[in-house]
Amino acid sequence: MRAVRFNAVGRLALEEVGRPEPGPGEVLVRVEAAGICGTDRHIFAGEFSAKPPVTLGHEFCGIVEALGDSVSGLSLGDRITVDPNIACGRCAMCRAGRVNLCESLVAIGIHRDGGFADYAVVPQGQAFRLPENLDPLHGAFCEPLACCIHGVDMAAIKPGQSVVVLGGGVIGMLVVQLAKLAGADRVALSTRQAAKRRLAEELGATDTIDPSAGNVIAAISGASGLLPGGADVVIECAGVPETVSQAPWLARRGGTVVILGVLAPDVRVEISPFDVLLRELKILGSFVNPFTQGRSAELISSGAVTVETLISRRVRLSEAAGIIAAPAPSGEIRAIVVPD
């Protein structure tokens, strides 16, 4: 079978490899669709640690084609989405129920072989069933949506509250929709590209702003801004220093800031501890998808979250390495690999 192998920083290639065999408790999945994520580009560039040689691809869905010993609850032919993050179940964090903080978290498509391949083997506990009639390209959004659900859970949005989302990539577009589903009344999104602002409005953003057009803080939380005094919740989804440093100033007194965007480990941004104290801001980090993959699969299956318009292009397995090695084209939301 074919697999996109990450062999070292800057070295990624489509290779012919043996088809994996599912061990006890594992299933063999014929990959139908796998999303190319910014993390794949960071791994290629050496900015996110992986375990080469390894097949990349952590956002995928496919069909169960073989069952290892002692697998139950899954059948041949089932369409599944994969939760890539495997927690050890034994460390202090796992035992406290905080599996995303597991001290030895192993991720499929990062530390063990993933979904940019004809087939992948996954532990059955990582598989979540999807409907037979679901478009598999939609199934490829379950993993990023599950990360967004965790972020929105952390934000604890209540009906009628106001939310600001910073960054109109796939994460921002999913967070906008989840904020609405959670009951937010006003959802304002800041992103530079006009096409992304239009798309966010189609997906439920009540207001959009162009951060390059002026002072974002004045435009949102200023006296004559969109949300004078700031929003109940601010969710940072751009992963750049500028938006992280804006975020606290966009929150109202007692408000909550959730950081979903990933910045390089050495990045530092300034905050005002005095302001955080005086206005009792909560600043929270949200990491991956603890116990949210099942809810994500439900929302994708029911169509409650729209993903069709987030698919920018459908590409072949043979094109994947080249696409990951290049910067994302301007305006692209998600490219999905379809092995065929």
Contact 99, 90 (CB under 8 A): no
- Asked whether position 243 contacts ligand NAP by CB under 6 A, the answer is yes
Distance between CA atoms of residues 211 and 197, nearest Å:
11
From the list ligand NAP, Zn ion, none, partner contacted by residue 48 (C-beta under 5 to 8 A by kind): none
CA–CA dist 68, 158 (Å, integer): 44
- Beta carbon of residue 328, minimum distance to ligand NAP (angstroms, whole number): 6
Residues 188-217 that bind ligand NAP (CB under 6 A): 190-193, 196, 211
* Residue 211 near which of ligand NAP, Zn ion, none (CB within 5-8 Å, type-dependent): ligand NAP
Q: Residue 168 in contact with residue 209, Cβ under 8 Å?
A: no
Q: Which span sits near ligand NAP by CB under 6 A: 101-109, 111-119, 223-231, 258-266?
A: 258-266
Task: Tell me the C-alpha distance between 174 and 195, whole Å.
Answer: 16
CB-nearer residue toward ligand NAP: 63 or 199: 199
Q: How far is the CB of 61 from ligand NAP (least distance, A)?
A: 17
Instruction: Name the H helices within 188-306.
Output: 194-202, 216-221, 241-250, 273-278, 293-302
The count of residues interacting with ligand NAP (CB under 6 A) is 29
Q: With residue 324 as reference, give the H or E element that holds it.
A: helix 317-325
Q: Which does 191 bind (CB under 5 to 8 A by kind): ligand NAP, Zn ion, none?
A: ligand NAP
Contacts with ligand NAP, 36-75, as mask; x by CB under 6 A: --xx------------------------------------
Nearer to Zn ion, 248 or 261 (CB): 261
Q: How many whole angstroms separate alpha carbon 125 and alpha carbon 25?
A: 8
Strands (E), 116-246: 119-123, 127-130, 162-166, 186-190, 207-209, 231-236
Nearest alpha carbon to residue 187 among 215, 213, 168, 212:
168
Q: Which of residues 137-166 bind ligand NAP (CB under 6 A)?
A: 144, 147, 166
- 240 part of the interface to ligand NAP, by CB under 6 A: yes
Asked if 284 is part of the footprint of ligand NAP (rule: CB under 6 A), the reply reads: no
Stretch in the footprint of ligand NAP (CB under 6 A) among 124-132, 239-247, 267-275, 307-315: 239-247
Q: Which residues of 238-248 are buried (b: 16+ CB within 10 A; e: fewer)?
A: bbeeebbbbbb
Q: Which of 2, 12, 39, 124 binds Zn ion (CB under 5 A)?
A: 39
Count other C-beta atoms under 10 Å from residue 59's C-beta: 31
How is 224-238 classified by DSSP, letter by letter? TSSSTT-EEEEEE-S
Over its C-alpha atoms, the chain yields an Rg (Å, rounded) of: 20
With CB atoms as reference, the residue minimizing the distance to Zn ion is 37
CB of 186 vs Zn ion, minimal distance in Å: 28
Contact 17, 121 (CB under 8 A): no
Interaction of residue 25 with ligand NAP, rule CB under 6 A: no
Name the residue type at position 186.
R
Q: Which two tokens stand for residue 212?
A: 């390059």
Out of 123, 168, 225, 248, the only residue in the binding site for ligand NAP (CB under 6 A) is 168
Q: Is 337 in the site for ligand NAP (CB under 6 A)?
A: no
Stretch that binds ligand NAP, among 14-22, 81-89, 122-130, 185-193 (CB under 6 A): 185-193
Cα 206 to Cα 231: distance, rounded to the nearest angstrom: 13
Contact of residue 286 among ligand NAP, Zn ion, none (CB under 5-8 Å per partner type): ligand NAP
Name the nearest CA neighbour of 84 among 113, 56, 114, 107: 107
Residue 287 near ligand NAP by CB under 6 A: yes
By CB under 5 A, name the binding residues for Zn ion. 37, 39
Q: Rule CB under 6 A: which residues touch ligand NAP?
A: 38-39, 144, 147, 166-172, 190-193, 196, 211, 237-240, 242-243, 260-262, 286-288
